[in-house]
């Protein structure tokens, strides 16, 4: 007897050859054919308690559709793993592994769950430009591109456009799209091209309106993923952390006390976020939590962030973190034209560079706010990945442009 394992999108199937009952040439063909070759097998399907899927195929014909070269640069079924750079260098082969495919099945399910949750709540899905004349947060992290006879930039965020759409009367919008940041970071949580899930909501009553909505949407989406993956038999189904709202609301000032620098009003670094995540688990027992009431000094470059009327030193901005990893940032926006102009100037920018954006505020803009979720980071969390690059099919960072 001889055995061969064939694999397609549905899983692996055992092909069983018995001497005397199969064409002898099939033995020679399958024996010499390199692994990862593409074949078409015709035969009889029979039950088998010993086979992985409970069935095996007894072949009458095997056609080679695509012969693989040997040796393989990357093992597909080998127990000895490869380092991530090697895997990414040979990403097509790496993606053939069922465990890797499971990540992207989960990612597909997550986006489907979010879309369903948004549409159920009356949101419109929109598509905003990705080639811009001006960035939403200044030029430090923008990729410049040649645009005919002028310079343009790749979008780092759809922020300005989704606010303009609120001014257009759309009231509730969301977008799932690529974004680009020219940050020279080389960490486990940063990449230069990423997927952002952005949302904007008109006629809000304050920051907690947004936080409650985030909890509902995230709960619906992750619940959808868990059910969908369980039905598919995806091994990630039982590993996905289930959010338990309401999430703790931790003021930024409390985080500063935890870090031993009360009143410092300085932005949080990676190690700061990790320390806060550990303390939050001890204090609240929740891996998901909001950091709220960011100081204006920390969000000075975020000119669209609304300052609190009762205390202008604070904004209504907040982050959603998971065990020290920032997943989302957002809050109420400044909808009053005069104050928005002041914020732009305070950020060291020129209002004249934002004519189309500001026009939306000159002719009536309702109170509004929104947020952006890093899809790749959320996939990293849900799948339990150590490196954000594993959450993208073909990741891009400061050193990688291939494949």
User: What domains lie within the chain, and their CATH numbers?
Assistant: 2-71 (2.40.50.140), 98-391 (3.30.930.10)
State the DSSP string of 226-240.
Answer: HHHHHHHT-TTTTTS
What pLDDT is attached to residue 10? 85
Tell me if 366 sits within 8 A of 191, measured CB to CB.
no
Alpha helices in 121-264 (DSSP H): 159-167, 207-232, 252-258
Task: Summarize the confidence of residues 44-51 as an average pLDDT.
Answer: 90
Q: How far apart are CA 30 and CA 2, in angstroms?
A: 9
Q: Give the tokens for residue 243.
A: 């959010």
Biggest distance spanned by C-alpha atoms of the chain: 88
Tell me if 191 sits within 8 A of 393, measured CB to CB.
no
In the predicted model, is pLDDT for residue 9 greater than 90? no
Least confident interval from 85-99, 131-145, 176-190, 289-303: 131-145
Least confident interval from 17-21, 43-47, 196-200, 212-216: 17-21
Kindly list the distances between the CA atom of residue 239 and the CA atoms of 99, 228, 385, in Å, as whole numbers in the listed order. 13, 13, 11
pTM reported for the whole predicted model: 0.94
Residue 139's pLDDT band (boundaries 50, 70, 90)? Answer: low
What pLDDT is attached to residue 138? 59
Least confident interval from 24-28, 99-103, 352-356: 24-28
Tell me if 95 sits within 8 A of 393, measured CB to CB.
yes
More confident residue, 23 or 240: 240
ω into 246 cis (within 30 of 0): yes
What pLDDT is attached to residue 80? 76
Q: How far apart are CA 354 and CA 304, in angstroms?
A: 12
What pLDDT is attached to residue 367? 98
Q: How far apart are CA 48 and CA 53, in angstroms?
A: 8
Instruction: Write the CB contacts of 83 (distance below 8 Å, at least 6 apart in sequence).
Output: none
**If DSSP codes are grouped into helix, strand and coil, which group holds residue 172?**
strand
What pLDDT is attached to residue 184? 87
Tell me if 303 sits within 8 A of 224, measured CB to CB.
no
Report pLDDT digits (tens) over 94-126.
999 999 999 999 999 999 999 999 999 999 999
Tell me if 35 sits within 8 A of 61, measured CB to CB.
no
In the predicted model, is pLDDT for residue 19 greater than 90? no
Report pLDDT digits (tens) over 268-299.
999 999 999 999 999 999 999 999 999 999 99
Task: Summarize the confidence of residues 223-252 as an average pLDDT.
Answer: 96
**If DSSP codes are grouped into helix, strand and coil, which group holds residue 241?**
coil
- Mean pLDDT over the full length of the chain: 94
Question: How many residues in the chain?
Answer: 403
In the predicted model, is pLDDT for residue 192 greater than 80? yes
**If DSSP codes are grouped into helix, strand and coil, which group holds residue 209?**
helix
Express as a percent the part of the chain with pLDDT over 90.
Answer: 88
What pLDDT is attached to residue 136? 63
What pLDDT is attached to residue 37? 96
CA angle 359, 374, 314 (to 5 degrees): 60
């Amino acid at each position: 007897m001889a055995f061969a394992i064939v694999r397609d999108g549905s899983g692996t199937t055992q092909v069983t050859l018995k001497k005397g009952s199969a064409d002898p040439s099939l033995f020679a063909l399958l024996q010499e054919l390199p692994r990862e070759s593409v074949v078409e097998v015709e035969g009889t399907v029979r039950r088998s308690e010993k086979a992985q899927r409970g069935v095996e195929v007894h072949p009458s014909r095997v056609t080679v559709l695509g012969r693989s070269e040997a040796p393989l640069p990357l093992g597909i079924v080998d127990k000895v793993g490869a380092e991530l750079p090697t895997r990414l260098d040979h990403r097509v082969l790496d993606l053939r592994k069922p465990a890797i495919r499971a990540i992207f099945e989960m990612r597909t399910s997550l986006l489907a769950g979010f879309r369903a949750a948004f549409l159920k709540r009356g949101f419109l899905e929109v598509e905003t430009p990705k080639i811009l004349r001006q960035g939403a947060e200044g030029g430090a992290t923008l990729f410049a591109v040649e645009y005919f006879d002028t310079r343009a930039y790749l979008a780092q965020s759809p922020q300005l456009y989704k606010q303009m759409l609120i001014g257009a009367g759309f009231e509730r919008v969301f977008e799932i799209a690529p974004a680009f940041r020219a940050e020279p970071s080389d960490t486990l949580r940063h990449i230069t091209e990423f997927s952002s899930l952005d949302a904007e909501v008109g006629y809000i009553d304050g920051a907690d309106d947004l936080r409650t909505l985030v909890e509902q949407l995230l709960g619906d989406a992750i619940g959808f993923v868990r059910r969908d993956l369980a039905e598919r038999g995806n091994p990630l189904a039982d590993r996905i952390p289930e959010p338990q709202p309401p999430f703790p609301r931790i003021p930024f000032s409390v985080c500063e006390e935890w870090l031993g620098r009360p009143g410092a009003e300085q932005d949080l670094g990676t190690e700061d976020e990790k320390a806060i995540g550990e303390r939050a688990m001890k204090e609240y027992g929740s891996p998901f939590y909001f950091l709220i009431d960011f100081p204006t000094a920390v969000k000075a470059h975020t000119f669209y962030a609304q300052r609190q009327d009762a205390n202008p030193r604070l904004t209504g901005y907040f982050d959603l973190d998971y065990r020290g990893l920032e997943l989302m940032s957002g809050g109420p926006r400044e909808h009053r034209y005069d104050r928005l102009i002041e914020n732009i100037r305070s950020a060291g920018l020129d209002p004249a560079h934002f004519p189309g954006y500001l026009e939306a505020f000159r002719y009536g803009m309702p109170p509004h706010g929104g947020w952006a979720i890093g899809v790749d980071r959320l996939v990293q969390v849900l799948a339990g990945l150590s490196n954000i690059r594993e959450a993208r099919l073909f990741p891009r960072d400061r050193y990688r442009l291939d494949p």
